[in-house]
Structure 1
Amino acid sequence: MKSTIIAVLLAAVANNVGAAPMPMPTPPGIPAASTAKTQLAALTVKAYVDPGGYNRDLFPTWITISGTCNTRETVLKRDGTNVVTDSACAATSGSWFSPYDGATWTAASDVDIDHMVPLKNAWVSGANAWTTAKRQQFANDVTRPQLWAVTDNVNQSKGDKSPDAWKPPLTSFYCTYAKSWVQVKYYWALTITSAEKSTLTSMLNTC
């Protein structure tokens, strides 16, 4: 009897029986929750400072990352499954799981590349004092969890809002979202508001 049960279990594993694991994108540099909490405590808390003059063109996107691939195409390839590209690096097929809302898309046109910390939010939390070259680095940062392939209308719903004004539809993603937001702000030495810090603290407590 025991050997029969073991055989059944081994067969189940071999045939991948059971719930399939949920695909997840893989932006690099997402810290542990304990690290994110330490980083959050180190951030400067102050009201947003908007000197005016914000323009998205002050954060040039998308730049060439490697070969013929620009930032958007690089993230689509990184975060997608079975992504096929043409000679110009444009995705011609594949699938993309949006961790913000749990949707899966098979057309690249349905996918936006979201800046975890929106460009306008960065502008009012310190980036207005940067050079254009530094803002370009920020807007095309593929070495930290700043760029995410997500459902286009969800990204549009987020706009330039910070976590106290907008959170991803999936509460199960709050932990990763907060860890990523904090890591980006910490690395780039951007400020946070008191409301932002309070919300991020609550989101990190879901980890």
Structure 2
Amino acid sequence: MRNCVIAAFAVATAVFAAPAPDVTSRALPSVIAASTARTRLAGLTVATPSNSPAYDRDLFKTWDTISGTCDTRETVLKRDGTGVTVSSACTPTAGSWTSAYDGLVTTNASSFDIDHLVPLKEAWISGARSWTNASREAFANDLTRPQLLAVSAHENRSKGDSDVTEYLPPLASFQCTYVRAWVQVKDFYGLTIDSAEKTKLTSILSGC
């Protein structure tokens, strides 16, 4: 019996400790190459972040209707999952999702959040405070850039509004993709970076 228990534990450990599937190409729209990211990083404006006026999440409207009854969140869940089926209201009824940040796998879509890779507050203090409400809405629902990703709720909430100096995905294999996407989004939207952020991005990209 003891040998059976040990064997069962070993199998269970292998299942949960196995490397997470590579979800990069499936989950995110095309992410720029590291060489391109380094070039674009050099062109970003370095400035001190400003939270004046104070950030208000309600100024970034989510979630928009994308197609039929599917809103942005549901569209990302369909894109990022495997074998996803939905109800007439576009609520996922089956499927499997792998969190690119921490490798967590689930069949319960409600346990995953849709992360804004460049957080809304980070965008605000980096320039979005001067945008129109329509521009902020477009940013918050952007399915074209690598800005939205279905990840475990725990990891999304651990990240919060942190920038790359305070948070990187714990799954090391995704960190290069994460910073490349970060630069891509900031470059497209003309957002600034601070000096510590630039140092961190430069360091990580040099090893990608």
Is TM more than 0.5 here?
Answer: yes
| One-letter code aligned to 2:121 | K
Where 2:201 maps in the other structure, the secondary structure is helix
Contact 1:95 1:107 in 2 (8 A): yes
AA paired with 1:132?
N
Partner Cα distance (1:20, 1:47) in 2: 39
Cα distance, 1:85–1:199 mapped onto 2, change above 3 Å: same
Q: CA deviation at 1:52?
A: 2.9
Provide, for residues 112-152 of structure 1, a one-character-per-residue CA deviation record: whole Å limited to 9, x for no partner: 00000000000000000000000000000000100011010
In structure 1, distance between residues paired with 2:22 and 2:167 = 24
What are the equivalent positions in structure 2 for 1:1-207 lying under 5 Å apart?
Answer: 22-24=21-23, 25-207=26-208
* Moved beyond 4 Å, runs of 4+: none
| Matches of 1:203 and 1:80, distance apart in 2 | 28
Q: Give the partner amino acid of 1:174.
A: Q
Instruction: Give aligned pairs, total.
Output: 189
Question: Taking every aligned residue pair, what percent have the same amino acid on both sides?
Answer: 58
Equivalent-residue separation in structure 1 for 2:127 and 2:75 (angstroms):
27
More helix by share: 2
Calculate the TM-score normalised by the size of structure 1.
0.88
Structure 2 segments unaligned to the other structure (5+ residues): 1-17
Structure 1 residue runs of 5 or longer lacking an equivalent are 1-18
Task: Return the alpha-carbon distance in structure 2 between the equivalents of residues 166 and 182 of structure 1.
Answer: 15
Tell me the TM-score normalised to structure 2 length.
Answer: 0.88
> How far apart in 1 are the matches of 2:74 and 2:139?
17
> What is the Cα deviation at residue 29 of structure 1?
2.8
Query: Aligned-residue CA RMSD in angstroms?
Result: 1.4
**8 Å Cα contact 1:23/1:97 also seen in 2:** no
Conservation of the 8 A alpha-carbon contact between 1:45 and 1:193? yes
CA contact (8 A) 2:20 2:98 kept: no
1:21, CA displacement in angstroms?
A: 8.4
Q: Does the aligned pair in 2 maintain the 1:174–1:206 contact within 8 Å?
A: no
Q: What is the distance in 2 between the residues matched to 1:67 and 1:206?
A: 43
Mapped contact 1:50–1:123 kept (Cα < 8 A): yes
